[in-house]
Structure 1
Amino acid sequence: MRRMRKRGAEAPENHERWLVSYADFITLLFAFFVVMYSVSSVNDGKYKILSQTLDGVFNATQRAVQPIQIGEESATQPHSDVPNLLPFEQPDRDEGTTRHSDEDGRLRDISRRFESKLKTLIGKGLVTVEVTDEWIELSLRNNLLFTSGDALPVDAAFTLIDSISEILKDYPNAIVVEGFTDNIPIRSDVYPSNWELSAARAAAMARLLIMGGVGPQQVAAVGYGEYQPLADNSTTAGRARNRRVVILVARSDKVRQFIRRVPAE
């Protein structure tokens, strides 16, 4: 009976368990005061900068905030990634000057390559190359490209436009292909008027340029019909000059902007 009582006796209760909770509470309280102290502490460096700035504003004796040296002074000044700019317009002006210089250079290159590649046709008066400050105007007589009253290119047109595409595909410039006719009314079931004929011819040449490697986003096609004559339509020679396709190469790469500012002939 004595052994049975020993085994069934309960262990004495630990009255010091509250110390664990108390220690946790003290630890949390200590952490709380540390955080509060760190938040409320003043950054001496920032305070001095603010003080100097306010002093300069109100006393008008200081126009710039002087840096505060913390730690040992370096023998060399730190390198700054921010360039020292004089007027704030300078970066834009330099960038614009460089862009315009590049655009001028591209126009000159394209013009020289046109004149070299098409020298024979230029000598015969079938092709002309004119250069302005804003674009190059490459004018091609219609008899090099189409038969009368049709917008289907002749065989020789493919070779000619391929040689032009070989030049233009190397540049990002905007290109507008323009179609023109004389004032003789067209009689065709396909083209109700010279407007449709001139637009179809311009589109055909634009398509050949794209097939030759020119980016389609660079190209637009416009038809003017008989309403932008280059010469007098009352003569045979004048009508022949008016029947033409013009390839305008802009100095910029913005096609729609270029179309809107092209003046009438």
Structure 2
Amino acid sequence: TGAAGAAGYFAWTFHEQKKEAKASESTCLITRSKLTAERGDIDKKFADCSATLAKQTSDMKSTLDTTSKSAKTLEQQNAELMKNLNASKEELDQLRTLRAEQDKRIAAIEDIQKQFAKMIDTGALKVTARRGALSLSLPAEVLFPSGVAVLSKDGEIKVLEVGLTLKRFPDRRFLVVGHSDNQALKSSVYKDNWELSTARALTVTRFLVQAGMNTKNILPAGAGEHDPLVEKASAKDLARNRRIEILLLPAINELPPLPDSITEDKDAKK
């Protein structure tokens, strides 16, 4: 009848709806499972990417640190090279200066040898370099009689001749040194060889001044027997030790620089 048919229809409809609901629920479960799996894949890929990025960042930082250290090392090496280069340039400049000064000394020796050629040829004068200074050596026998400090006539001529030449170097200073042998004096007014050599140096100095040399540029000194040319000389060599030596003193610009602790003597300018 009509009521039974309606009830059957509703029952069928409810059954179909329930069936569809289960199907939908099943579909949702499948979709959820699939999404969960996909989410897991995404999370794994994200973790992998994060790990890769972290490693790359660490590697880049390590590389940057190494590069920075290398750059610093190169900078230090470059600074050291520049320091060495500057030191080498300074040393080269010093060597050039020394060579120029040496050339001047050689030129001075050659000039003096030329000026004194006649005296050198006759043996009255010997020009040498001794202890870094130019030395003009005159045998005592040429200048003085034995045991005295008074020049012989020939000695006066020789000393005046030397003075006339040396006065051409007004910017240079000279040290006149008297030397003797080690034999004791006999019947002399002088106490010993040291005193005699000093007196002879002073005599020669006075004659050099008479020849025109500036008194400010010439200094007398006596060495006695204490600076021989020949140590433990035989009787034949004793004469070589008896001499008057005129030393060309170095100019101030030829001397090595003084330490900073040594200051200029301001009183010397007064």
- Return the TM-score normalized by structure 1: 0.53
Cα distance, 1:106 vs structure 2: 5.4
CA RMSD of aligned residues (A): 3.5
Structure 1 or 2: larger helix share?
A: 2
Find the counterpart in structure 2 of residue 249 from structure 1: 248
What fraction of aligned residue pairs are identical, expressed as a percent?
A: 29
Shift of 1:104: 5.1
C-alpha spacing 1:165/1:151, structure 2 compared with 1 (3 Å): same
Does residue 128 in structure 1 map to residue 140 in structure 2? no
TM-superposed CA distance for 1:230, in Å, is: 1.2
**Which 10-residue stretch deviates more, 244-253 or 181-190?**
181-190
How many Å separate the matches in 2 of 1:122 and 1:135? 18
Alignment of 1:156-171 (within 5 A): 156-171=154-169
Question: Deviation digits for residues 219-253 of structure 1, max 9, x if unmatched?
Answer: 11111111222125552221010100100002316
CA distance in 2 between partners of 1:169 and 1:207 (Å)? 13
Q: 1:238 aligns to what?
A: 237
- Structure-1 residue corresponding to 2:152: 154
Q: How far apart in 1 are the matches of 2:214 and 2:181?
A: 30
Distance (Å, rounded) in 2 between the aligned partners of 1:170 and 1:253: 19
Q: Tell me how far apart the structure 2 counterparts of residues 191 and 159 of structure 1 sit (CA, whole Å).
A: 25
- The one-letter amino acid paired with 1:177 is V
Any gaps of 5 or more consecutive residues in structure 2?
1-85, 87-92, 257-270
Q: Which moved more, 1:220-229 or 1:162-171?
A: 162-171
- Aligned partner of residue 237 in structure 2, secondary structure: helix
How far apart in 1 are the matches of 2:104 and 2:161?
Answer: 18
TM-score (norm 2): 0.52
Is the Cα contact below 8 Å between 1:177 and 1:245 reproduced in 2? yes
2:148 alignment partner AA? D
Structure 1 residues 14-54: Cα deviation after superposition (integer angstroms, max 9, x where no partner): xxxxxxxxxxxxxxxxxxxxxxxxxxxxxxxxxxxxxxxxx
In structure 2, C-alpha distance between the alignment counterparts of 1:247 and 1:146, rounded to whole Å? 16
Distance 2:226 2:168 in 1: 33
Shift of 1:131: 3.0
Question: What are the within-5 Å matches in structure 2 for residues 196-235 of structure 1?
Answer: 196-235=195-234
Report SS of the residue matched to 2:183: coil
- In structure 2, the CA distance between the partners of 1:122 and 1:138, relative to structure 1 (3 Å rule), is same
Amino acid at match of 2:145: T
Task: Give the whole-Å Cα distance in 2 for the aligned partners of 1:218 and 1:150.
Answer: 26
Amino acid at match of 1:173: R
* Residues 113 and 167 in structure 1, CA contact (< 8 A), matched pair in contact too: no
The worse-fitting range, judged by mean Cα deviation, of 183-192 and 115-124 is: 115-124
In 1, the alpha carbon distance for the partners of 2:195 and 2:235 equals 22
In structure 2, the partner of 1:112 is 110
Which residue matches 1:182?
181
Instruction: Tell me how far 1:189 sits from its aligned partner.
Output: 5.1
CA, structure 1 residues 160+107, in 2 after alignment: closer, same or farther (shift >3 Å)? Answer: farther
- Shift of residue 183 of structure 1? 1.0
User: Conserved in 2, the CA contact under 8 Å of 1:117 and 1:163?
Assistant: no
Bigger radius of gyration: 2
Closer, same or farther: CA 138–234 of 1 in aligned 2, 3 Å: closer
SS of residue in 2 equivalent to 1:222 = strand
Q: Deviations over 1:138-181 (max 9, x none)?
A: 11111111010011011112222222222221221110011111
Task: Flag as ranges the 4+ runs of structure 1 deviating above 6 A.
Answer: 97-100
